[in-house]
Amino acid sequence: MPARGLKGKNFISLADFSRDELLFVLERARWMKRDFKAGRLESALGGKCVALIFMKPSTRTRVSFEAGVFYLGGHPLVLGGSEMQVQRGESWADTGRVLGRYVDGIVIRTFAQCDVFDLAEAASKPVINGLTDEEHPCQIVSDLLTIQEKKGTLRGVKLCYVGDGNNVANSLLLGCALAGVDIRYACPAGHEPDPVILAKALELAEGTQVKGFADAAEAVAGADVIYTDVWTSMGQDEDGAKMEEFGAFQVNFGLVSKAAADAIVMHCLPAHRGEEIAADVMDGPRSAVWDQAENRLFGQMAIMALTF
């Protein structure tokens, strides 16, 4: 049974999950949203303590996890990077060994994904990846929930990712391949998604399309969902030259007009209007970004309830 199988499991990469497990998480997220709105949410984390470690800034992830732990009856402990001894050289493994003795689960946002694996291996408690340079799996659970709500299904939906082939793009490749969402991507040369993750997505796809394009207009033709993210992710240096390099990959009215007539536009946020997304698209009728942000709460409550 997927439910029993997820208890105690880390949620670090979608590559570690089966299609059934991912669909099970999404189903739980849908129930939790329904129950939350009806004011009858179960106390799935009653009496549990959850450490939330943030080595990079966050608005959505931090607040939705902290609020989510509270709504599920648990106690969140938010730890900023500067408050922890890792800043002074303590290893992630030693940090994990200790935290595992105090808390029931750990959420971490940091730079290298190998640090998350070190933490998880040493802690005897489940660890959730709240974003690394490589992946952002919690974001994609909430995004798939949003697509399901807006399109009524996942299988056969056509999503096109336009922009930087970053952590969000990597996790989208894995999540869409698993969920049966056809995924196309258009990224400037040299900024494509991680080739190892792409290979894994192709392996998981089982008939679902996973395909890269050099031209954004060609990639979005007929898409049901257009997705974009910032051109410069946290931890990367700002590079003025990127504006020119990425110019043809802006999600603007012209690009959206090539997609299906009822296509929605998604962005994990924070957004830079006028860079990866035009303001009139971000704030226009096709934009699903606020519902997408709201769903972070339900996707993550489901992940915590099933793994912690």
Which residues have a catalytic role annotated? 109, 136, 139, 229, 268, 296
Q: Which is nearer to ligand NVA, 148 or 167 (CB)?
A: 167
DSSP-derived 3-state class of residue 196: helix
Enumerate residues 243-302 that contact ligand NVA by CB under 6 A. 268
Which residue's CB is nearer to ligand CP, number 139 or number 208? Answer: 139
User: What mask of x and - would describe binding to ligand CP in positions 8 to 47, judged by CB under 6 A?
Assistant: ----------------------------------------
With CB cut-offs between 5 and 8 Å by kind, which of ligand NVA, ligand CP, none does residue 229 bind?
ligand NVA
Which part of the chain contacts ligand CP (CB under 6 A), choosing from 10-18, 56-64, 178-186, 216-224? 56-64
Tell me the per-residue interface mask from 116 to 135 with ligand CP, x by CB under 6 A, - otherwise.
---------------x----
| Contact present, 12 and 120 (Cβ < 8 Å) | yes
Applying the rule CB under 6 A, the residues between 129 and 188 that interact with ligand NVA are: 131, 166-168
List the one residue from 139, 170, 208, 300 that touches ligand CP (CB under 6 A). Answer: 139
To ligand NVA, the closest distance from the beta carbon of 97 in angstroms equals 28
**Residue 269 makes contact with ligand CP by CB under 6 A:** yes
Q: How far is CA 180 from CA 5, 16, 171, 212, in A?
A: 22, 16, 14, 17
Find the largest Cα–Cα distance for the chain.
54
End-to-end CA distance of the chain: 16
CA distance 207 to 199: 14
Tell me: does residue 268 bind ligand CP (CB under 6 A): yes
Member of 58, 129, 146, 170 binding ligand CP (CB under 6 A): 58
- CA-wise closest residue to 292 among 151, 186, 198: 151
208 binds, among ligand NVA, ligand CP, none (CB under 5 to 8 A by kind): none
CB 128 within 8 A of CB 108: yes
In 3D, which of 52, 96, 95 has the Cα closest to residue 77? 52
- Which of ligand CP, ligand NVA, none interacts with 129 (beta carbon under 5 to 8 A by kind)? none
Between the alpha carbon of residue 100 and those of residues 16, 51, 308, the distances in Å are 21, 10, 12
How far is the C-alpha of 265 from the C-alpha of 287, rounded, in Å?
5
* Burial of 27 (C-beta count, 10 Å sphere; 0-12/13-18/19+): middle
Count other Cβ atoms within 10 Å, centred on residue 294: 15
Residue 99: contacted member of ligand CP, ligand NVA, none (CB under 5 to 8 Å, by partner type): none
Please state the closest distance from residue 139 (CB atom) to ligand CP, in A.
Answer: 5
Residues near ligand CP (CB under 6 A) are 58-61, 131, 139, 268-269
Residues near ligand NVA (CB under 6 A) are 131, 166-168, 229-230, 233-234, 268
